[in-house]
A and B are shown apart, each in its own frame.
With several copies, the nearest count.
Chain A
Amino acid sequence: MKYFVEINGRPHEVELTERLGVLSVKVDGEPLDLAYSEVDGLGQFFVLSEGRSYAVSIDGEASELGVTIAGALYDVHIEDERERAAGAAERAAAKQGGLVKSVMPGVVVEICVEVGQEVEAGQPLLILEAMKMQNELVAPHGGRIQSIHAQAGQAVAMGAKLIQIASLEAPE
């Protein structure tokens, strides 16, 4: 099975092959010696690799993991081949458009755009306040504001739909 792993934004390909009950691991085409085992059922793991030992903590579910080794946190996005194939089509469609979600729970302070307005990548869309700090959410790419799903003063949960941007080149 192949896995597509993005770590802090950089892509890697991991191939796991099971043969006669033995799993071999290749990362970006190169073999890596690895032994992995769970310690406490709560997120602590012990890993031996290439003659070194690691106390590893893994955190998160499904395709979004946080892996911590000696205090260094790696943000991991992982997909297997099937998910990759399914996701690729979706991504292609959304390439120049998409949904902006709330990156944290908070209260919408201000909406900076209107439906129908054209925006550039990086342009502020709205301001979200959490823990007394205001954070700008910016457009991930250029496009036209298709819909706005929140209003000033509204409390929103993490991951809540906020603003839909439609692509300019390939309207759907």
Chain B
Amino acid sequence: MFQRILIANRGEIALRVIRTAREMGIECVTVFSEADAHSLHTRMGHVAVPLGGRLPSESYLVADKILKAAKETGAQAIHPGYGFLSENAAFARAVVDAGLAWIGPPPHAIEVMGDKIESRRAMLAAGVPLVPGLTDPVADADAAVAAAKGIGYPIMIKAAAGGGGKGIRIVRDPGEMKSAFRTASGEAQSAFGDGRLYLERYLDEPRHIEVQVMFDQHGGAVHYGERECSIQRRHQKLLEESPGPIVDAELRAQMGEVALRAGRAVGYQGAGTVEFLYSKGEFFFLEMNTRLQVEHPITEMVTGVDLVRDQLEVAAGRPLARTQDEITWRGHAIEVRINAEDVNAGFLPATGTIRNLRLPGGPWVRVDSCMYRGLEVGLNYDPMLAKIIVWGEDRATAIERMRRALEELNVGGVRTSAPAALAVLAEPAFRAGEYTTHFLEALDLKGRVGAQERLVAAISAVHRRAMASRRALGADAGDRRGWQARSRAALSDHVRLATNPGGQA
């Protein structure tokens, strides 16, 4: 096993890797940008190397700096986390060429899977199902009707030059094809100056379901079951769960088998995720993520497997520690991403300094977080600050536990996506497991009325008054105790319950 690895990442994923490495007795070299000099990942590793620069393009994306750091510190392998250089085949190749182990798939596998056309070709050859459709435009409505037979209804007509929903029609029946083709073609012509149309199967009620796989260097491969990630907005996932609410043992085995086939077709090694679009009993290959994913913890919670440990072991050349039969699933896990976003302002990115932090705890609540008091949240990096993961005996328990955990969470100083996740958890359709990839975008979050509005108005006024008193005390401004005592005196009657007994000033 490696004695020392370099983690070419930041934030919660760098810390995630550090934790398992520490448990395995492996030393971690961390790298950090100027903005991350005090970050948890910088502090929690064994050796920290400054990369300089505040932007990713000056630090975490500079392959040479990272390779230099690895050489100088004697790291034997590089873990790329997710994002940044994790799916950069050239970097992977440079790592291997430098004589270091790459904790990820072979560069060729990254390349093939990173290319839409090449990966479709490889999957087709391997017998992995793809969304049926034509690769060339159709000439006219009659040709479309003929081609549709081989694709299957409903059919989506898409403009070749398309975008913004223009030139798109859904055809559910051959009789509708003619008129739909005509209007779509006209719309495309006038919008883009190009009337050519493609045909593709339209997936009703699409769900994003993905399968976690792991391949060793000796031909061994296992899958760890699926994750459902349909709760997303602009392709950004907010909440994931495992197992998928509509996946039974049979479908799990089928999807797992197809996912392994997809990996084998490109000579995969290490951890990866095969993403599928599921619709009404059928599933189709979407893409393969050739790295560890943000949402890997829910798979860990239900299988009991430390995926980072497995990843490190296969990268070090060891055979997989377990066979497919030894992987079992227990209960249900949910993850919510805590992003720096202002839900009330339509998910605008939020910035600020974390002044105050209350993380949830207790039974079956896992917190993977890079937050600490004093953290400045800016715009240079991914807005994800933490992930809350819960496990429950069953889905209903996991949902209630996540609600409870999010109610305990408080991030003072920066707005987060937590209220949106709470709204999702409260929706009857979500609770019934009946949701699609359209769910979150269709959810009206702005219109939500909190139940405590009168109380909040009163608290705000009393708080405002207390702040003014504190300011009025001038020299004592920094002395919260003095202010508290004053506030208490002013509020003595009401406060008797709350503070007089405590006398905590």
Contacts and interface: CB of A to CB of B under 8 A. Distances in A.
Complex contact flag A–B (Cβ < 8 Å): yes
Interface of A: 1, 3, 5, 7-8, 10, 12, 14, 16, 18, 21-25, 27-28, 30, 32-49, 51-59, 65-76, 78, 80, 103-106, 130-131, 133, 135, 158
Contacts of B409: 71
Given A28-B454, A44-B410, A73-B415, A37 B489 contact: no
Given A3-B461, A27-B454, A43 B491 contact: no
Given A36-B462, A105-B379, A55 B457 contact: no
Contacts of A42: 355-356, 373, 412
B406 interface: yes
Given A23-B490, A133-B349, A48 B498 contact: yes
A22 B492 contact: yes
Contact of A71 (B406, B461, B493): B406
B432 interface: no
Given A21-B492, A47-B498, A158-B351, A36 B459 contact: yes
B497 interface: yes
A34 B494 CA distance: 6
A57 B374 contact: no
B179 interface: no
Q: State the 10 A-B residue pairs at the shortest beta-carbon distance, nearest first.
A: A43-B356, A35-B498, A55-B43, A53-B48, A14-B461, A22-B493, A12-B457, A3-B461, A43-B412, A37-B499
A3 B464 contact: yes
A21 B500 CA distance: 14
Contact of A65 (B45, B234, B463): B463
Contacts of A46: 37-38, 42-43, 498-499
A80 B464 contact: yes
A37 B344 contact: no
Interface string B370-403: 0011100011001100000000000000000001
B453 A7 contact: yes
A78 B461 contact: yes
B458 A49 contact: yes
A53 B374 contact: no
A26 to B, nearest CB: 9
B379 A59 contact: no
Contacts of A16: 461-462, 465
Contact of B462 (A34, A44, A76): A34
B125 interface: no
A132 B96 CA distance: 31
Given A39-B372, A104-B348, A106-B379, A74 B452 contact: yes
Among B43, B350, B455, which residue has the most Cβ atoms of chain A within 10 A?
B455
Interface string B98-131: 0000000000000000000000000000000000
B455 A54 contact: yes
Contact of A53 (B46, B463, B493): B46
